[in-house]
Structures are given as C-alpha cells and as structure tokens.
Copies of this chain bind each other. A is one copy, B any other.
Amino acid sequence: MTTRTVYLKDVPFDEAWRSFRSALEGINRWEAGESETVPLDEALGRVTAEPIWAKISSPHYHAAAMDGFALRAADTFEASDRSPSQLSKEQIEPVDTGDALPDWADAIVPIEAVEIVGDRESILLRAAIHPWSNVRAMGEDMVATEMILPAGHQLRPVDLGAAAGSGHDQLVVRRKPRVAVIPTGSELVPPGTIPKPGQIIEYNSLVLAAQLEKWGAAPTRLPVVRDSLEEIRAAVSKAAGEFDLILLNAGSSAGSEDHSAAVVESLGELLVHGVAIRPGHPVILGMVNHEVPIIGVPGYPASAALTGEIFVQPLIRRWLGLPESDKRQIEAVLTRKVHSSLGDDEYLRVSVGMVGDRTVAAPLSRGAGVITSLVRADGIVEIPAGIQGYAAGTHVQVRLYRSPEEIERTILAIGSHDLTLDLIAQELAIRGTRLSSASVGSLGGLVALARGEAHVAGSHLLDPQTGEYNLSYIRKHLPETKVMVVGLVRRWQGLILGAGNPKGIESLKDLAREDVIFVNRQRGAGTRVLLDYQLAKQKLDSEAIHGYGREEFTHLAVAAAIATGRADCGLGIQAAAAALKLDFLPLFSERYDLVIPEEHYQSRLLEPMLEVLASDQFAGEVDKLSGYELERPGEVLAELG
C-alpha cells in the first residue's frame, strides 16, 4: 500500500493542455500522422490523408444525355414548324443515354422531339437544334488533374461517388489511432451483475470506447485490473507497446488505492496531476516511454465522460488532421443562480428550451457521479475560473449537444414528477417532440412557471382549507398569468412499508405507535400537505409521531430510508415502494394536474402533447399502471387569471 499523496497541483486547463501538446511534439505518429489505403467501400466516415485529385475526367468522353439521334446542329438550322427539316440516314445516328457522341456529330435530338419517317430511314425535325444540345461534355462533372477533395476531409457518401467517378477505387486515409481503455478497481463488477453494497458496475470503459469509436478512433477495452500498483503498471506497460494512446480509468485521485500517478511516473513522465476543472479535476496527463500519451481519467462517470470530451476528443481530431471540433453555441438565460469555484473552469450541464421567445438554460445535477446529468443535458455552460458563479437571469453561452431545431421542439416540464410524464414523453418522442422534465416539487413548478422557465408544471397541491387541488396555489403564485389547469390522472398515495409489513401497520393511526418510526417529506411537497391535511381531518397529533421531524426530499428517499431500516414507514406513491420492492398501503386518491400558461397552451409546440393526452394509446398505457386512473386527461378543468 502506497502512502497517500496530495495533488501536485490543480493547474489551469490551458497550461495542462499546452504541456501535453508539447510533449507530443517530435513523436512521429502524433506529429505527422499515419495513413493507410482503404477500398472505397470501406472509406465512409474516414478522413482523407491527402487531397483526392481526379485521375480521369467525368464524363471521360462527350456523352449523349438523352435517348435520341446524334446529328450536326448545322443540318437543323433551317428547321421550323412550317418547314421541317428531313435528315437522312447518313446524317443521323441513333444513340442511347450515355453513348459516346460520334466524332462527326455535335448535338443530340431527343427521340421525343422527332418524327420518324419510313422505316427509321430518316427523321423530321420541326425546330433547330443548338450545337452541344443534350450532350454532356467531357469533364462536365470532373476534370482530370483537378482537386476533388482536400486532405483532412471526412468522407460522406457522395464523396465516395466522386472519387470513383474520377478514377479511384481506393483512397489514402488517416489510420485510426489505436486506443487502449484500461479500467482499474477491485470494486468493479461487469454490467448485468446485481452489485453488492460497495461494488460498482464498470461502465466508464463502455462510454469511453463508444466516444472513441464515434470520434473515429479504434478503441480496445482491456480487462479490469485490480487496485494493485504492480498489476496496473504491468497492464500499462504492455499496452504502451501496442497502442497509440492509453486511457487509464480511475485511480487518478490521491486516495490510498489511487495508483495511476505512481504508475505513470514509474513508466515515463507525469506531466500533469490535477487540472482546475469541474467536474473531473483529478485528471492525469503523461507520457509512457516518451512516446505513448496516457490520460488518467477520473472515476466518477460524469467526470469520465467529460474528460473524454475535453481531453480525448481534441487529441483524436488532432491525430486525424481535423480542425478543432465545432462549437455550436447559443445564448440562453440561466434559470437559477449557480455558484462556481473561483479556481476552476466549470462545465455546467444544462437542459435548454425555448419558452416564448426566450431560450432558457436550467442547470442539471452537478454531481460528478450523475451520468444521467449528461444523458439529460442539452448543452454545457462553461464557467471559467475567476468567476464565482452567475446570477439567475444571466445570459450565458451554451455549447449545444443537440441541434437548435431539436431545442425548438422541446417541451419543458417542471414541478412534481409523475410516472405518466414518462409515458407522455414516450408518445411525444414518436411524434418528433421532446419532453424534458425536471423535479422540483409542485410548488417549485408553479414558481418556475411564474418566472417563464417552463411550459408545463405537474402539480398535486391540496388546499387544506377547501379540499380543492391546485387552484388557490396558482392564484397565489401566478396572479398575473392566464393559466389553464389541465386534467391528467388520479393516483393513490399511501404508506410505504417494509417488505412484508413487519410492523403490521394498517392505517394512519398506527403512526403514533411507540414502536413505529416514520419518515416525512419536506414542507411544500404535495405529499406533506396531504399528510398534514389527513392528520388534521382524522384529529391525529403530529407530535406523537416518531420521526415526523425527519424530512426527505423525494418519494424515493422516503422509500430508501425504509429499505435500509432507518424508518418503518412514510407517505408516498406506489411507484416508490415498487422501486425498492417494498409494501404499499393505499390510503388516499389524489389529483395530479398539469398547469399550463395559456400562451403555451395555444402554441404549436404543445399541440402534440394535447393530442397525446386525448389518445387511446396513452389511455391504454395509463391503464397498465397500478394505482392510477385517468382524470379527464387533456381537458381544461379550470381557467385562471
């Protein structure tokens, strides 16, 4: 076991990158590039290593562009409707499209434009033919010796045609860089395994290899290596003899089982250990045997994938002779305040949509471990070092992962999450519209609507005074906005219980039992409002409930507390119980509505969603969920404002 070390230092990104690039200078395969010859039918997507020059012209002869007759244009100059010209057998020659123009001829008349006299002996023309009519002149398409495509061009389907047409049957392209991806860690288990606590499903190598493949490299995923300095050293040393680049995953930090830095140091040069970026700062850059670059990729999945984008992609593009990647940027309004570390460049993942005429960017989870933050991300906002963050409402530049057209076809839903939103998302996807949803609780959703940050909010807020859903809350939080309350479903709320209900809990009354520990939801959550309403209605004292003061922020957190034995029960929806294979006691049926400002309700963007809500297909899907029934889906239940 090595002793713990600290980072050499977190160097700024530009400095790290500069030192890595200068280490690559003088290494032939990284400097000049290597090429190989591939047949045309394997060249799609490859990058030309040299310009493609036409070897032959296309057409390579004067060619008939129509079925008809070759002739001398001069023989037709007198022809008119009133006095047609008759051309004899000797003056014409029948040709099909693509035939060579006879030497003596200079035009083609199409078959449709002539009358054939006698037994094809001669033809009659009623209009003059211009010289070179219906002839594809030699070189019309490509001229021998002309440059068809430059070097450094990624080959598309039509390019292959142009290469073939100008005389090639193979092309010289950049060799794909061979990249080894080495996962390390004694805690890793393969995908498909049911992991024990402390075990981690190894999928970073899957993501890195897929990125490499997409960017034009040839990745190889090597077997997982245990957390042993010697074994990792052996694996890296072997890979250095076979690959052009090594990605060593995890162990790049400074923990007791982090060996990457020591391995790189012992086999070559440790250039950088720690880069001032978030997520992903424990990055290692180095050279093995002074010729094979190695990148120590952090272990958290979002960090690993972003390290791929930030460090690996430019390296692959450099190898292939391509200019730096396109940065499609658009301006958007940040929906929430974001603090950022002064010392680091931060890569903030955001979802993006057009609400009215504003493009808004909503920050997603910043956790380095949250791979779904990248799955859900529509783009990245870079917050450079030296900036402590941005206020809500700041105009920021977003580097997009999706096309602006996809962004324009995105419905932003916010508020309380419900399973049926997933079903709607699925039906919308088929119709070419995206539903991007964020869970901030019912009240949070109304506040977001008021701020113009979303099109739709899911809400199940019960008014304890009136027993009515949502209306009084909307009046309070969206006083100035014309809003539609649109029906969706009723769903069962109930008690989530340990599997098999070991404490024999039968109703809300049991919450006050001495031997029962409860776990609560936060104030403002629709479920908390419901609990307090029902307690009051049944005249139960919340102070008698053990654990009433312990608040969790999601249905699942409540279920997790029960699954791990920290509590015996909590109020929530059936899906959360099902997720962790817990028991569920249904108690109250509640309404879950969609709140939609009229401006969006009327918009073309939302049309397909309203279609979905009214469809038999959607009704059928909801029917399959247990604990749900439709509640006038898509109907306007109330209009406010």
Contacts and interface: CB of A to CB of B under 8 A. Distances in A.
Nearest to A55: B194
A150 B425 contact: yes
A96 B158 contact: no
A369 B301 contact: no
Contacts of A149: 375
A30 to B, nearest CB: 16
A616 interface: no
B375 A187 contact: no
Contact of A140 (B65, B221, B369): B369
B97 A255 contact: yes
A158 B257 contact: no
A481 interface: no
A328 interface: yes
A211 B156 CA distance: 8
Nearest to A211: B157
Interface stretch (A160-168, A454-462, A532-540): A160-168
A152 B566 CA distance: 40
Interface in A296-326: 299, 301, 305, 308, 321, 323-324, 326
A interface, how many residues as a size bin? 35 or more
Contact of A194 (B56, B65, B190): B56
Given A99-B198, A141-B367, A430-B323, A161 B405 contact: no
A75 interface: no
Scoring A4, A430, A563 by chain B CB atoms within 10 A of each residue's CB, the highest score goes to: A430
A160 to B, nearest CB: 5
A580 B207 contact: no
Nearest to A435: B150
Given A51-B422, A432-B324, A148 B375 contact: yes
A139 B57 contact: no
Interface string A112-151: 0000000000000000000000001111111111111111
**Identical chains bound together, number:** 2
Given A152-B429, A369-B140, A406-B326, A210 B44 contact: yes
Nearest to A429: B150
B137 A203 contact: no
Report the 4 A-B pairs with minimum CB-CB distance, sorted nearest first.
Answer: A169-B192, A323-B432, A164-B203, A100-B197
A226 interface: no
A557 B135 CA distance: 13
Nearest to A373: B141
B191 A405 contact: no
Contacts of A164: 191, 201, 203, 206
A556 B143 contact: yes
Contact of A580 (B96, B144, B152): B144
A487 B326 CA distance: 32
A13 B143 CA distance: 34
A627 interface: no
Contacts of A209: 41
